[in-house]
Chains A and B, each alone.
Chain A
Amino acid sequence: MTAGPAHQAAADGATVDLAIVGAGPAGMAAAIRAAELGLAVVVFDDQPAPGGQIYRNVAHPPPLPRHVLGPDYHAGAALVARFLASGAAYRPSSLVWHMAEGSLSHTGPDGGGTLAARRILLATGAMERPFPVPGWTLPGVMTAGAAQIMLKTSATVADDAVFAGSGPLLYLVVAQYLRAGIRIRALLDTTPRGARRRALSRLGSAWSGRTTLAKGLGLLAEIRRAGVTVHRHVTDLAAVGADRLDAVTWRSGTVRHRLDCRTLFLHQGIVPNVNAAMAVGCRHGWDEGQLCWRPALDAAGRSSVAGVMVAGDGGGIAGAVAAALSGEIAAIAAASDLGRIDDATRDRLIAPLESRRRRDMAVRPFLETLYRPADAYRIPSQDETLVCRCEEVDRGTLAEIVRRGCPGPNQIKAFSRCGMGPCQGRLCGHTVTELFADLTGRSPDAVGHYRIRMPIKPVTLGDIAGP
């Protein structure tokens, strides 16, 4: 931990200028820039080491050959080093569980606390989109992101797994497994037929698009060269088993398939992890391109709540490069809002970052079209498919609740405990909104999302008081 002015400010219980939640690329880049501009900064992150999702554990990765996780991963080490030397106070293993006007409460290895902050920047990142297929709660079914996390933190893998779904992260994890020499049973690609053609028409003149496209195709070529069986246009995917996963079943065209397996890694893209921003009251809207909720933000990341800003994938999926740029932009805007730099300096600093971000994001419409998850994998059609994993509410029960006139996710409580389990709607919120919209013909915005409350995660007295 660096002892800078910010650290002292925090230790005194004084008000810091900027409290950042999340030490991924967005939070780290924001901290570096804000400290440069003289702000007293504290960064909270619930993980034991900085990096966020993409650069998880990058400063001390397991001793795997560097090509396994690849150059895009190891590039994060430089950002982590700059962050740790930035003078911003860094609080690892510290979960921010409560926020109110100008203050936040957190857990921590030495006990938790409450901190006053003039500005709060939420850089809480993304999570994998819920992938409600029959059997997705069976032991043995995990996400592809989980496979990658186990690899990055503990060099831990499962042999002969099946990977299923769609999206760049899925192909990346499969390639990382193969580079580590792990046998893979099959890749079941659910990208719908015609997606590539539709997407190419949206590529336009995006140069970054060509690089991203080349990387994506490179991963697929790498997977094929390694001899992995790839099934394309997979529909009707299901996990089967009594007490644990025994097999995966699917259709390709009209042919039904079944493959015995003990581990299935699912992935259907990522969505902003909106619980923190929703709990603090930031206005959100449904993004039709990304098929997810995202907070309403201005160009610098200011939300609808005074003093609360959002940067990185938590504000809409844009990837690690754009996440870092948006973090820097938000830090500069915060410095200007706090009167530390004048408007001209602010605009001069933001302009080049803004144009780099625009160039980087030109590829998004293409990616969103290419990897748009098929309707059937977002809005389950079989009654027995579980939507709410925690409280075990299935699609049939929800359809019946809608038929009985329940107007939306917030009135569900009168009919079932859907969304009221420990995950606080993280794993069913998107599905419930889209299912309601589909069944009633209303828009996702009209249906709305669960009202999310503090604490963002259940905390124990031990968490708060410390050992």
Chain B
Amino acid sequence: MFRSLTEPTGRLVTVSLDGRSVELPEGDNLAVALLRAGHGPFRTTPVKAAPRMPYCMMGVCFECLAEIDGVPNRQTCQERVVPGQSIRRQDGARSTGSAVPPAPAARGTP
């Protein structure tokens, strides 16, 4: 359904998608690369288990959430394709997986 008009700019690397190996261009926007790979739905909702897919692609709707390398509730539209990455569909879980941030300490910007 989604296709690229140009040759991939990054080299193809292997990532794990729900346990299956797929090749995606390194450095590409993860949500876009997954859409082109025909992945879907990205998650199901906590209340009615309804299927959802990316909506805004700019980080405001949180419909593109997935578990990346074991961390739930990652916005795939704000992530890049990294070799060896593991992406899993997220079923139902509410967004409690995000850590409560510690009180910001003044430690300067590294």
Q: A residues within 8 Å of B by Cβ?
A: 10-14, 42, 46, 48, 53, 62-64, 91, 97-98, 100, 103, 105-106, 108, 110-111, 113-116, 127-128, 137, 139-143, 145-146, 149-150, 153-159, 180, 243-244, 262-263, 273, 389-392, 421-423, 426-427, 455, 457-462, 464, 466
Name the contact of B60 in the complex, choosing from A105, A106, A273 (C-beta under 8 A). A273
* Contact-size category for B: 35 or more
Q: B residues within 8 Å of A by Cβ?
A: 1-6, 9, 28-29, 32-33, 35-36, 40-41, 45-48, 50-63, 65, 71, 73, 78, 80, 95, 98-99, 101-102, 104-110
A98 lies within 8 A of B101 (CB): yes
On chain A, the residues within 8 Å of B62 by CB distance are 390, 421-423
Closest 7 CB pairs of A and B: A13-B108, A458-B98, A146-B57, A139-B53, A105-B104, A113-B109, A422-B62
Q: Knowing A244-B51, A421-B95 touch, does A145 contact B32 (C-beta < 8 A)?
A: no
How many angstroms from the CA of A100 to the CA of B105 in the assembled complex? 12
Main secondary structure of the interface of B (DSSP, over half): loop
B104 lies within 8 A of A459 (CB): no
Q: Which residue of A lies closest to B42 (CB)?
A: A139
B36 lies within 8 A of A156 (CB): yes
Q: Which residue of B lies closest to A136 (CB)?
A: B55
B36 lies within 8 A of A389 (CB): no
Q: Which residue of B lies closest to A424 (CB)?
A: B62
B109 lies within 8 A of A13 (CB): yes
How many angstroms from the CA of A110 to the CA of B109 in the assembled complex? 10
On chain B, the residues within 8 Å of A461 by CB distance are 99, 101-102
- Shortest B38–chain A CB gap in Å is 12
How many angstroms from the CA of A50 to the CA of B50 in the assembled complex? 35
A150 lies within 8 A of B104 (CB): no
Q: Would you give 16 A-B contacts (Cβ < 8 Å), ordered by A?
A: A10-B109, A12-B108, A13-B107, A63-B6, A105-B101, A108-B109, A110-B110, A139-B41, A142-B57, A153-B32, A154-B36, A156-B3, A392-B47, A423-B61, A426-B60, A464-B101
B47 lies within 8 A of A155 (CB): no
Name the contact of A114 in the complex, choosing from B51, B56, B60, B104 (C-beta under 8 A). B104
B6 lies within 8 A of A458 (CB): no
How many angstroms from the CA of A157 to the CA of B5 in the assembled complex? 7
On chain B, the residues within 8 Å of A457 by CB distance are 59
Name the contact of B110 in the complex, choosing from A53, A111, A141, A180 (C-beta under 8 A). A111
A391 lies within 8 A of B2 (CB): no
Q: Knowing A103-B104, A391-B47, A464-B101 touch, does A150 contact B57 (C-beta < 8 A)?
A: yes
A115 lies within 8 A of B95 (CB): no
How many angstroms from the CA of A311 to the CA of B55 in the assembled complex? 26
How many angstroms from the CA of A53 to the CA of B60 in the assembled complex? 13
On chain B, the residues within 8 Å of A115 by CB distance are 108-109
Q: Which residue of B lies closest to A116 (CB)?
A: B106
How many angstroms from the CA of A150 to the CA of B36 in the assembled complex? 11
